Amino acid sequence: MEEKYIHERIKALEAELGLIKRRITMPRLTEEQIESRIQEYRSLVREISSSLKVKEDPDSYIAKLRAKEY
């Protein structure tokens, strides 16, 4: 039983280490790429908000949704 737990724990730690290594080796985004993504997300939020009949500013709407989560 203990041996099985230890092997599962080792696999979990190896998987987590793999995720950390990939995150470190990912290229950093430029300011333009970051701004482009922000604009894409805002556009997507506007589109979804209009389909849900939300008539607020997307940033305010997201902030309110996040506030409801906590």
pLDDT tens digits for range 19-38: 999 888 888 889 999 999 99
Residue 15 and residue 31 in contact, taking contact as beta carbons nearer than 8 Å? no
- Report d(CA 60, CA 66) in Å as an integer: 10
Q: Where are the domains of the chain?
A: 2-69
Assign residue 28 a region: left if phi > 0, alpha if psi is -120 to 50, beta otherwise? beta
Residue that has been written with the tokens 């995720």 in this structure: 19
Segment 1-21, tens digit of pLDDT: 788 889 999 999 999 999 999
Coil, helix or strand for 60? helix
Q: What is the pLDDT of residue 54?
A: 62
Among 43, 48, 34, 40, smallest CA distance to 65 is for: 48
Q: What is the pLDDT of residue 70?
A: 62
